[in-house]
Structure 1
């Protein structure tokens, strides 16, 4: 007899769901920590494989980076004030916007870096969204020109860039099948290296230039996040701003940066799921090509010809109908004539 759910059942389901959520979170954290540990181990192994001179140079570079990071934390107020001074002087330059355009255009070509820094600087100089037309046009034009150069002039370098990164290689496989504008838009929204993605995507021969241009143009509003953070950094360093305003600006920067990062990695995770689904379908298709589709064979059972053992004699010849047996041309002088696919054989009746 069916029973209505009791309070104990609801409490059990609540505790079960809560435990399941905690276990899922714990599994995710464990996986991430294992991945970080694996990366550290690979880096350590690679470092030990280098020569002594390279090990010394790499160690010195790490020390310099660490010192710079510590100095930036200690003197961040002075750094922000210097950037504010630089942005004001840059804004007064006659060809300041042209210099920004040229720099953003150039960093679209791999292996150059600095797109994010230039975006923050543009936000400090021109504000948000006033600086968006300048940096968006430079970004779209630079990315498109980089795509053209690496597609038709430096194609071998583009292939090396694509094969150097497993993510780029996986995206190349899925884009080579569909040429979908939507998929390329998702890829452009993923947290991938700016200039390297321009060169790596150029190695996909099935990717049209128009599709790449449209995807870059459609995703250009994401630069507004960099402009917003840059403009807020300038307001934080302004001595005229009150303490409450600075706190609000800091909170807005943290919220904006966190939301943008979370959204980018969610898109990246969705793309990874799509890639996994794509590869699983590819493996299933290969199995069908090798072993056949047994489900289709079962579905065709109603259309197949059923063979009965009663239709054959002892010599495995098909027994003809009575009309053929009564034909006088197929009988003669004690011989019983049998036909199998147009070939006549006779057996003497004992």
Structure 2
């Protein structure tokens, strides 16, 4: 299993253009530098600084509205940061941050879906007409709302690209997309919970009032929440891929192409391509 996914990652890395490879190395160096920064400054000081800023945000009159607006912005590709902002909702507002996270997620994804669908309806049809994998994915859509929901709660494609993915599948209706998006509520709740527990451990005053047992429990809750999030994400993604590849009533070739369309969807396909000819280039890159 590990060898398989390592091979997949390695192959995708080699298919990247030079700019993509440089970006990967930039991220690698960034995280190395960030790790050194954390060690030098100390996690306690960084955590306290973040907690103080989060409390300032929570005390701001319309801080929650600014947080929702930011979530709407990062719902548009190629921006990232949705999961971080959801965790920040819990970090700043506790479990009440769930309502902020849910509102920002629904409004942001719905707006992305509507804008991309209205502005790029012709490109969607042109893309679908020349891309076998997209035609297969639109055939899978005939299996109804349950499968749409399953794909929506999958961690891959990532949040921002999943929004453009559904906008690209012309048979998917807006109401189906919104209903499917509501099913990510448990995931949002989990990340808000993790954020709320991280806040309790980040504040020196709260941490000082905790005994060793409380610190261990809170630490285990944060760690356990992260493990659950990673495990469920992997499980749901595996379930989606397996389900699509074994759909009844569709040819095996269609199932396989649809699964590949989801697995390989990125910023090149199809609404985010730079020009009319990009569709053909993206099709070639997927083969």
Note the 1:1-350 alignment, pairs <5 A. 28=1, 32-40=2-10, 42-43=12-13, 45-46=14-15, 50=18, 59=25, 62-72=28-38, 75-128=42-95, 130-155=96-121, 172-173=137-138, 175-178=140-143, 180-192=144-156, 193-239=158-204, 240-241=206-207, 242=210, 243-278=212-247, 281-283=250-252
Q: Give secondary structure in 2 for the equivalent of 1:202.
A: helix
Per-residue CA deviations over 1:293-348 (Å, capped at 9, x if unaligned) read xxxxxxxxxxxxxxxxxxxxxxxxxxxxxxxxxxxxxxxxxxxxxxxxxxxxxxxx
Q: Give secondary structure in 2 for the equivalent of 1:127.
A: helix
Per-residue CA deviations over 1:31-55 (Å, capped at 9, x if unaligned) read x224314523552x457x739xx97
Per-residue CA deviations over 1:54-105 (Å, capped at 9, x if unaligned) read 9778655532332113323553222211110111111111221111111111
Structure 1 unaligned residues grouped into runs of 5+: 1-27, 286-350
1: distance between equivalents of 2:173 and 2:134? 17
Q: Please, what is the CA RMSD of the aligned residues?
A: 3.3
Question: Could you tell me the TM-score, scaled by structure 2's length?
Answer: 0.74
1: distance between equivalents of 2:64 and 2:183? 23
1: distance between equivalents of 2:203 and 2:135? 46
**Superposed displacement of residue 214, structure 1:** 1.2
Q: Which has the higher helix share?
A: 2
Shift >6 Å, 4+ stretches: 54-58, 156-162
Per-residue CA deviations over 1:198-230 (Å, capped at 9, x if unaligned) read 011111111111111111123323211111111
Q: Whose RCO is larger (CA < 8 A, sep 6+)?
A: 2
| Matched residues, number | 246
Matched-pair contact (CA < 8 Å) for 1:159–1:200:
no
Matched-pair contact (CA < 8 Å) for 2:124–2:170:
no
